[in-house]
Amino acid sequence: MATVNKNLSEYDKNSIPNAKDFRFGIVVSEWNDVITEGLCRGAVEALLENQVPAHHIIRWNVPGSFELIYGSKKMLQTQNVDAVIAIGCVIQGQTKHFDFVCEGVAQGIKDLNVQTDIPVIFCVLTDNTMQQSIDRSGGIHGNKGTEAAIAAIKMAFIRQQASLTHQIDNQHLLSSGPIQIEEGGPLELKE
């Protein structure tokens, strides 16, 4: 479904876990800052609306969207955050540079999600025109920053639940007593 058929700012408030204990990093590109500031505003407002304390939000600026990769990596490596929101706006110019920046950022953010344990949310507009960016950063199609903040809350919750489940599994395994290994027999846990 294309963005034109969906308002980026709309979400089911009943489906959002309580985010009061989560901490969020926001890395913002300074290129097209009129747009990225609007995206950041949408993200922060959504986090605050979902009980995230203001002091649980850490914001850093980077020069351009390509630097979101390094900025997000250092954010998650050095700050106690449960998710990172990478905010940028890439607009087609006269050359192929748009293609390389967009592909590079998408791949870089994807790599961070694969290689680290902290979810990094891709809040990067890749538009043909400034009007398209305006429409998606608080305009007629809503705010992609809002969408990204909700995604960040949901992914932080998934990470938390996965960690708890892993701990329970480990506790069960560890509390099941010694592992009895019979010569040639199946490996059995003695309750």
Using an 8 Å Cβ cutoff, are 145 and 40 in contact?
yes
**Which of 62, 101, 105, 151 touches ligand LTPLIIQW (CB under 6 A)?**
101
Nearer to ligand LTPLIIQW, 19 or 101 (CB): 101
Q: Does 126 bind ligand LW54GNZ2 (CB under 6 A)?
A: no
Q: Which helix (H) or strand (E) holds 163?
A: helix 144-175
| Contact status: 67 vs ligand LW54GNZ2 (CB under 6 A) | yes
Instruction: Give which of ligand LTPLIIQW, ligand LW54GNZ2, none residue 72 binds (C-beta under 5 to 8 Å, depending on kind).
Output: none
H or E segment to which residue 79 belongs: none
Q: What is the DSSP string of 48-73?
A: HHTT--GGGEEEEEESSGGGHHHHHH
Residue with smaller CB distance to ligand LTPLIIQW, 30 or 45: 30
Element (H, E) at 177: none
Would you say 60 and 28 are in contact if contact means Cβ atoms under 8 Å apart?
A: yes
* 97 part of the active site: yes
Buried b (16+ CB within 10 A) or exposed e, 38-75: bbbebbbbbbeebebeeebbbeeebeebbbbbebbbeb
Q: Which of ligand LTPLIIQW, ligand LW54GNZ2, none sits in contact with 104, Cβ below 5 to 8 A by type?
A: none
Q: Does 95 bind ligand LTPLIIQW (CB under 6 A)?
A: yes
Q: Which does 94 bind (CB under 5 to 8 A by kind): ligand LW54GNZ2, ligand LTPLIIQW, none?
A: ligand LTPLIIQW
Here the tokens at position 175 are: 């509390």
Stretch that binds ligand LW54GNZ2, among 2-10, 74-82, 86-94, 138-146 (CB under 6 A): 86-94
Q: Minimal distance in Å, beta carbon 124 to ligand LTPLIIQW?
A: 11
Dig out the tokens for 15 from the structure. 């489906």
